[in-house]
Amino acid sequence: MIDTDVFIFVVISSEFATSFWAAALLKDRVGSTAAISTVAIVALGTGMGIGRWFGGLVLKNFKLDNQLLGIVSLQFFGFTAFWLSHSMIISLICLFVIGLGISMQFALSAIRLVGFSDNRPDLAVGKASLAAGIAIAGAPFLLGFLGDNFGISRAYIMVPILIAIAFVIILLTPSHSEKA
């Protein structure tokens, strides 16, 4: 069985790699200025805010794994469209969709990890925090390193790979919970 804290590592890695480097991809693909590209990241934050506000209401009737599969899929499709886009308007919409997708990933992942914890929620939350910390520190750094060596557009292939890994982990390690 795949260790479930790896799941938190990959979803947080994809979130922070996107958050930290989306402006660079926008500048590269759309040709906007660094300032405009940086401000455009507000679309990502707006999607995250709306997703956190309304996500629970929208997803409340689904099982935990189906909730995670849905939001990971939403992030994947939003990111793929963002990665391929050469239009500022389409990119902004895609960033908003990505924000919706990543809005509830940590919370739902932590709930899932607690479910696997054998009545050790303290250990589960500690593992989740450690995995998230490593992801927050490592993923943007790795993406920056890859961007320096291959260009940001090619380096960004790291993000859909991380999202796909997260999707596969959910499928291979079902949580067997009825609802979150």
**Percent helix, strand and coil across the chain, each to the nearest 5:** 80, 0, 20
pLDDT in tens, the chain (180 residues): 456 678 899 999 999 999 998 999 899 899 899 999 999 999 999 999 999 999 989 999 999 999 999 999 999 999 999 999 999 999 999 999 999 999 999 889 888 888 888 888 888 888 888 999 999 999 999 998 999 999 988 999 999 999 999 999 999 998 866 544
Split into its structural domains, the chain has a count of 1
For 118, the domain range is: 11-172
Question: Is this prediction's pTM over 0.75?
Answer: yes
Position 131 in a domain: yes
AA letter at 178: E
Distance of CA 167 to the CA centre of its chain: 11
User: What DSSP string describes 54-77?
Assistant: HHHHHHTTS-HHHHHHHHHHHHHH
Position 2 in a domain: no
